[in-house]
Structure 1
């Protein structure tokens, strides 16, 4: 509760106001320099489109593991710096240090089922990719290269596609998350493993998932990206943002400059809310946003009030 109170106070702090102003200035700068930025996006896409690693069907599966491996190091480094100790959500937390073999096993177990799907499934074509190209790929049992569009997305398209996919994913995973918490069998077999962290909540808990839950998470994210017809470059950006948000939610630090405080009106959840979910388990089911959880809380209070008056 103290952490939540600190969160509420920090949203109106001078630091947050400064960061919000900087964010607005960054948006205005991007708008004014969009031609130059678009030129760089086009150049980047021309390079990536013909890069052997980016072209392979396994790129996104590998890139998720790569991003997680790098981003998960941030809270581990913060835990070693005394300055950040005051922002810990659990004062006595001693995060375990996974061994190299453990990390390699974890990465392999993550990639194997997804790589198998990458090998045999022809991914839904991206915009501007000819249907003839997709039909030719369907003739092959083994998929090797992705059919990538020739043109890069605009900066605006990338931002909108990433934001829209996050919103859709958040709503989809809320349904899954709420369901496994409400059903005892599903909770025991699918989700309980994620809540089993005796050492406390830390960044590595992000990937403490059963195979079924991991597939649900990945397929939900993929479906969200497909719904918005996300360009491959937008998908790449989505992975970075997505992994970053997930790790921050599980990092165990409630930083005064985190995204949930910079974005106004309490729209985003953040680490403190997700920590509360791991502690109590009966609320805060949305991974990133708050509107569904808030609506459910208000509805629950409304109907509870009616029952009390009967």
Structure 2
């Protein structure tokens, strides 16, 4: 039905005006990094302003602030790591788009939870693969992709293979890319803002900034990247900020 494809005009516009761009194999990388940069900048400004920032009251670890040098280092890591297929003419329904994106998020959340847990339990894996991400006890937006090459490739592999396994439409993949990158940045912003989208998820099923901030303070907790169900099942969920 037509009501199931409300975004069809947008899809037609993208195909007609920007087909060369969106069909390029480099477009997903450009989209992902552009979103990461745009989402991170506002919170980087807040961190630079420090106590002068109007939202400083929501800062989780008020005693710790990332320096400009720390920001440049982590941004440099992301830039360093980021160094033609046929598009379908028909767009999927809104329900298919949302269900496909949610399915990929749940699969990725499962994959990363067990991968993350294993690396914290194994000192050798932690040291050689994951330790770089814990360079900072107090996370900030640019530290989101402060990862080792191995971790980035692992995350990138899942991010690319999971939508293929679920046979997601390209627009679902792009939407998912924007949304998942925002969720990742939100995890690291260091602010528990009351109006973040994650607070709309019922029953506390979304982890968000507070949960991941606690993980950086207490690394034996909150291993899942987006949701809280796996941490609850395995007894690793911590919802109260440690002293």
Which of 141, 144, 147 matches 1:206? 144
CA pair 205-105 structure 1, distance change in 2 beyond 3 A: closer
Residue 54 of structure 1, CA deviation? 1.1
Determine if the alignment matches structure 1 residue 83 to structure 2 residue 22: no
> Any unmatched runs of 5+ in structure 2?
238-243
Which of 151, 165, 168 matches 2:104? 165
Which of 84, 93, 99 matches 1:154? 93
Which of 156, 169, 173 matches 1:235? 173
Residue 187 of structure 1, CA deviation? 0.1
Note the 1:250-261 alignment, pairs <5 A.
Answer: 250-261=188-199
Q: Distance in 1 between matches of 2:72 and 2:195?
A: 35
Do 1:45 and 1:152's aligned partners in 2 also have CA atoms closer than 8 Å? Answer: no
Q: Which moved more, 1:261-270 or 1:246-255?
A: 261-270
CA pair 205-294 structure 1, distance change in 2 beyond 3 A: same
Do 2:8 and 2:91's aligned partners in 1 also have CA atoms closer than 8 Å? Answer: no
Determine if the alignment matches structure 1 residue 65 to structure 2 residue 10: no
Residue 105 of structure 1, CA deviation? 4.4
Normalization by structure 1: what TM-score?
0.69
Q: Distance in 2 between matches of 1:52 and 1:107?
A: 26
Give the secondary structure class of the aligned counterpart of 1:255. Answer: coil
Q: Distance in 2 between matches of 1:72 and 1:56?
A: 25
Q: Which moved more, 1:176-185 or 1:71-80?
A: 71-80
Q: CA RMSD in A?
A: 2.5
Which protein shows a greater Rg? Answer: 1
> Any unmatched runs of 5+ in structure 1?
1-32, 113-144, 300-310
Residue 266 of structure 1, CA deviation? 1.0
Q: Distance in 1 between matches of 2:231 and 2:205?
A: 11
Note the 1:1-310 alignment, pairs <5 A.
Answer: 34=3, 37-47=6-16, 51-79=19-47, 80=49, 82-97=53-68, 105-112=76-83, 145-197=84-136, 200-297=138-235
Residue 102 of structure 1, CA deviation? 5.7
1:246-288 deviation line (CA, Å, top 9, x unaligned): 0010000011122332111111111111111111100110001
Residue 41 of structure 1, CA deviation? 3.5
Q: Distance in 1 between matches of 2:123 and 2:163?
A: 31
Residue 68 of structure 1, CA deviation? 0.8
Residue 43 of structure 1, CA deviation? 2.5
Q: Distance in 1 between matches of 2:191 and 2:111?
A: 26
- How many matched pairs? 233
